[in-house]
Amino acid sequence: MNDHVAGLRIKYLRKKKGLSLQQVADRIGRSIGFVSQIERGLSRPSIEDIGAIAQLLEVDYLSFFTSEQELPKHPVLVKRRERSALDYRGGIKDQLLSPDISGKFHMLLTEIAPGSRSSDDLMTDAGEQGGLVLDGELELTINGETLHLVEGDSFHFTSSTPHSYVNKGQIPTKIVWVFALR
């Protein structure tokens, strides 16, 4: 999926809720121009921006990944070339590894460029999450404790626990990330 498709989904959901660009901008702390550029696929939102927009529109951020027309051809298999993706501002890219987003959990392949971070603030979500570092290194902060993970290390925590992550390494970090709903 490209940024234009995600932007169109955001625009559709915003209009469905009867919200103006200005209302969305005010509620997520961004300019009206920035929100307009996201909707037109001209700007990439950060993970924080996508989270704030999803919360405002009362949808899971995963809904910005896949539409009915983009579902993989097989109900249990996702070929590499069929993966839906979101590129965030700040050097983070997620690829959906699950065939769709209707199940109890979702798998993502996340690539984090050197120096990139999830957000300036700690995040909280619903459910649980865990992952396996495939390449590179990750500094993961969970509830005030900072953990240093390298290739082969894995993690698991309740998503409602305040958390953030950063790649302080010199190469891109790749992680298989699993998000489970409660």
Q: pLDDT tens digits for 132-174?
A: 999 999 999 999 999 999 999 999 999 899 999 999 999 999 9
pLDDT band at 5 (very low <50, low <70, confident <90, very high): low
pLDDT of residue 121: 83
User: Is residue 84 a part of any domain in this protein?
Assistant: no
pLDDT band at 66 (very low <50, low <70, confident <90, very high): low
pLDDT of residue 61: 72
pLDDT of residue 134: 98
User: Is residue 10 a part of any domain in this protein?
Assistant: yes
Q: Which domain holds residue 176?
A: 104-180
pLDDT band at 14 (very low <50, low <70, confident <90, very high): confident
| 48 lies in the same domain as 116 | no
| 114 lies in the same domain as 60 | no
| 54 lies in the same domain as 118 | no
- In this prediction, what percent of the chain has a pLDDT beyond 90? 36
Per the model's pLDDT, the better-predicted residue between 45 and 66 turns out to be: 45
Number of folded domains in the chain?
2
- 103: which DSSP letter? S
pLDDT band at 1 (very low <50, low <70, confident <90, very high): very low
Across the beta sheet with 137-142, what order do the strands follow?
145-150, 137-142, 163-166
User: Is residue 31 a part of any domain in this protein?
Assistant: yes
Total number of residues shown for the chain? 182
| Cβ proximity of 181 and 104 under 8 Å | yes
Q: What is the CATH number of the domain that holds 10?
A: 1.10.260.40
Exposed, middle or buried, 156 (CB in 10 Å: 0-12/13-18/19+)? Answer: exposed
pLDDT of residue 181: 76
